[in-house]
Structure 1
Amino acid sequence: MADNKKRIKFKSIAILEAVIIFLLFIALIWATLIRGRAEAVPANANSDKPQVRQRAVIEKEEAFYQLDGKKILMHDSTYGEIFVPVYADVPASTISTDNITMRNGYAFYSENGENVSTIGVDVSEFQGDIDWTQVKQAGIDFAFIRIGYRTYGDGIITYDSAFQRNIEGAQAAGIKVGAYFYSQATNADEAVEEADHVIDALAPYDITYPVVYDWEIVHDAARTDSVSVEALADCCVAFCERVKDSGYTPMIYQNRETAMHKLDLPRVKDYDFWLAEYDEKPIYYYDFRIWQYSNTGRIPGIGGDVDLNICFKPY
């Protein structure tokens, strides 16, 4: 009898333990499923916790050139829109194109409401006989006179037939003068040779504006067609350093496309730059001192078309 009572007691305890375990199991299911679902945060809800995955943000710029120091957008005849990385160590232009205005065919640049620019032309024997007094009266402040050129076929250095007449006529009329040489050098030695011819030609004259290295792509089976980027930079440096050693201010002339695609800009960044870009406003990214904005200008005293220039910081 006593054994039966003990068995009943143990059986009751086992049943009670089973009930307690079952109740605890039901409570755990409720906590994890029912309550957890009620308190769950939707995937698109705001949360202070960092997101493991997020959608990439694609930013677009409307400007042709992006002046943010990261990239320059350009257009290529083959690829369409392309981008060129910006050189961090090449100074960007500080010219505000909003301050450029056009009046009577001339470009002007103002700062704080005052004109700080000068107007100029560049000429060669192709302009024929020039009446420099009329040119001065037309408001021209400076002129770049071509000293000579190297032929793009056989590479012969030739003086411009109107150089002496033009430089003396311009100075006599009170126009400040600079000079340029049309180069077809293929290496540094030839560039030095060209610079020496320039220095010899300028010896009798006192000029105030720069002496310019004008190297251009001819697109006509020229001797310079295969010149490398490195060789062109060598030519620029060799010419400019030779000119600088002789006491003149060196400058490089180039159009926007060749400057961006052919010039090793970090190597020539220390020389003043003369930009050729025929548009309403210049969009060249890097620093330039002179802007040639037209090759179809008309000036009293000059027959036919002539290049027009604006100098933003007069020499």
Structure 2
Amino acid sequence: MAILHLALALATATASVLAAPLHALEKRALPKGIDVSGYQPNVDWTTVKANGVSFAYIKATEGTSYVSSAFSSQYTGATNAGLIRGAYHFAHPDASSGATQAKYFLAHGGGWSGDGITLPGALDIEYNPNGAECYGLSASAMVSWIKDFSNTYHSSTGRYPVIYTTTDWWTTCTGNSASFASTNPLWLARYASSVGTLPAGWIYETFWQYADSGANPGDQDYFNGDAAGLKRCVHAFSIPVLVDSGG
């Protein structure tokens, strides 16, 4: 997720799977995670686990022409260390359809299995590294592209992909669409002391990327819940997310 660094700028099937909004959990020990890519090719996963990290997202693919050479070893290392882990795909909506990129992701490590340790794949949709911020797409076209990716992934796995983004990018490039809050868990990136304003529709984030560096390799993340909730979430993201009343 190097593009976000430059820019600096799942939610659940039931209310019991995810906890209350993050502001209500500030005194709890939130499960820690990291996300890594080819920029961190040699992660010492045993040390990461010893440092208290519970989960990891690992970059698998980008567009339809890139597979991370580090993905296999990173994924295996995280697995052997006992972490819950999943894969993510960096989107290039200007290059090919959402369905095409979802299929590429699925074919190169982005799948899901009910083994109790695999998180649903994540769609990293954010600032364009090579041109116009919104990849030359209108807000409606961007929403259609994301739906195409999401529905294709769901058709194959029975799980909706997690959506990784920033509130700024989402507001600018999707028109702040609320179309995904009932299906896709939110992984929000914001490097600050609080999660801040969420994109439309979502009333809490499932994951929060709160820093681009820290005690462990890669970006630093929290799961919005407890350890038991994190363990349950590998199974839960199979039907549309119920909107939490906030109670």
Q: Deviations over 1:234-279 (max 9, x none)?
A: 1211111111112234111101211233234222222111100111
Q: Is the 8 A contact 1:186 1:231 kept in 2?
A: no
* Matched residue type, 2:76: E
User: Which AA in structure 1 matches 2:98?
Assistant: A
Q: Does 1:197 align with 2:100?
A: no
Which of the pair is proportionally richer in strand? 1
Show CA shifts across 1:190-239 (max 9, x none). Answer: 21111111112235975521211112222642595321111111121111
Decide whether the 8 Å contact of 1:292 with 1:307 is kept in 2: yes
CA pair 220-267 structure 1, distance change in 2 beyond 3 A: same
Describe the shift of the 1:222–1:136 C-alpha distance in structure 2 as closer, same or farther (beyond 3 A).
same
Which residue of structure 1 lines up, in the alignment, with residue 59 of structure 2? 146
Match of 1:126 among 25, 31, 39: 39
Which residues in structure 2 correspond to 1:217-296 (within 5 Å)?
217-218=127-128, 220-221=130-131, 224-247=134-157, 248-263=159-174, 264-270=176-182, 271-285=184-198, 286-287=202-203, 288-296=205-213
Partner of 2:74: 166
> Larger relative CO (CA 8 A, sep 6+): 1 or 2?
2
Change in CA separation of 1:307 and 1:135 when aligned onto 2, cut-off 3 Å:
same
Match of 2:215 in 1: 298
- Give the counterpart letter for 2:192 in structure 1: D
Larger Rg: 1
How many angstroms apart in 1 are the aligned matches of 2:195 and 2:209? 9
Query: Separation in 2 of the partners of 1:283 and 1:138?
Result: 27
Contact 1:195 1:242 in 2 (8 A): yes
Partner of 1:97: 23
Rounded to whole Å, the distance in 2 between the matches of 1:257 and 1:265 is 12
Rounded Cα–Cα distance in structure 2 between residues aligned with 1:219 and 1:197: 20
Q: CA RMSD, aligned part only?
A: 2.4
Which runs of 5 or more residues in structure 2 are unaligned? 1-18, 234-247
Change (3 A) 1:311 1:223: closer
Distance in 2 (CA, whole Å) between partners of 1:161 and 1:269 is: 33
1:24-48 CA distance string (max 9 Å, x none): xxxxxxxxxxxxxxxxxxxxxxxxx
Question: Structure 1 length normalisation: TM-score?
Answer: 0.58
Matched, 1:182 2:77: no
Aligned length: 199
